[in-house]
Amino acid sequence: MNELHVDEELPADQRSWLRELDLAHFEPTSPGMPYWLPRGLAALRALQDHWRQAHERWGYQEVSTPPMARDPLYLASGHLPHYEENMFFCNAGDGGGRFGLKPVNCPGTMVIFSSRRRSHRELPLRLACYDLLYRNELSGVITGLLRVQAFRQDDAHIFLAQEQIRDEVVSLLRLAERVYAGFGLKFMLRLGGPPVRRIGDDATWGRAQALLAGALDVAVGRDGYDRVEGEGGFYGPKVDLLVEDSLHREWQLGTFQLDFEMPRRLGCAYIGADGQEHVPAVIHRALLGTFERFLGILLERTSGHLPAFMAPVQLRLVPVADRHHAWAQALRAAVRAEGFRVDLQESNERVAAQVRDAVLRRVPLIGVIGDREAADEAVSVRAADGTDLGVIRKEALLQMLRQRCQPPDV
How far is 129 from 312, CA to CA, in rounded Å? 24
Q: What is the pLDDT of residue 96?
A: 79
Q: What is the pLDDT of residue 7?
A: 40
Do residues 21 and 312 touch, judged by C-beta distance below 8 A?
yes
Interior/surface letters 188-211, b for 16+ CB within 10 angstroms, e for the rest: ebbbbbbeeebbbeeeebebbbeb
- In this structure, whether the domain defined by 14-302 belongs to CATH 3.30.930.10 is answered with yes
Closest CA to 302 of 366, 410, 385: 385
Q: What is the pLDDT of residue 238?
A: 93
Report domain extents, the chain.
14-302, 315-404
Q: What is the pLDDT of residue 16?
A: 86
How far is 299 from 246, CA to CA, in rounded Å? 9
Considering Cα of 55, then 260, then 267, then 233, what sign does the dihedral take?
Answer: negative
Q: What is the pLDDT of residue 371?
A: 96
Phi and psi torsions of 327, nearest 5°: -70, -35
Active site residues: 106, 135, 153, 155, 157, 238, 284
Q: In what helix (H) or strand (E) does residue 57 lie, and over which residues does it extend? A: helix 38-57
Closest CA to 255 of 154, 131, 135, 136: 154
Q: What is the pLDDT of residue 11?
A: 46
User: What are the DSSP calls for 331-362, one per residue?
Assistant: HHHHHHHTT--EEE----S-HHHHHHHHHHTT
> Where does 105-259 have alpha helices with state H?
106-113, 165-182, 202-220
Q: What is the pLDDT of residue 6?
A: 39
Q: What is the pLDDT of residue 8?
A: 38
Q: In what helix (H) or strand (E) does residue 69 lie, and over which residues does it extend? A: strand 68-70
Q: What is the pLDDT of residue 246?
A: 65
Taking the chain (410 residues) in runs of 10, the rounded mean pLDDT of each run is 41 81 92 94 95 93 96 94 92 86 96 97 97 89 87 96 95 91 91 89 91 92 90 90 79 91 96 97 94 92 93 97 94 97 86 93 96 96 93 97 93
The overall pTM is greater than 0.85: yes
Topology of the domain comprising 315-404: Rossmann fold (3.40.50)
Residues 6+ apart with CB under 8 A from 160: 123, 124, 125, 168, 280, 281, 282, 283
How far is 293 from 13, CA to CA, in rounded Å? 13
Residues 6+ apart with CB under 8 A from 353: none
Q: What is the pLDDT of residue 286?
A: 94
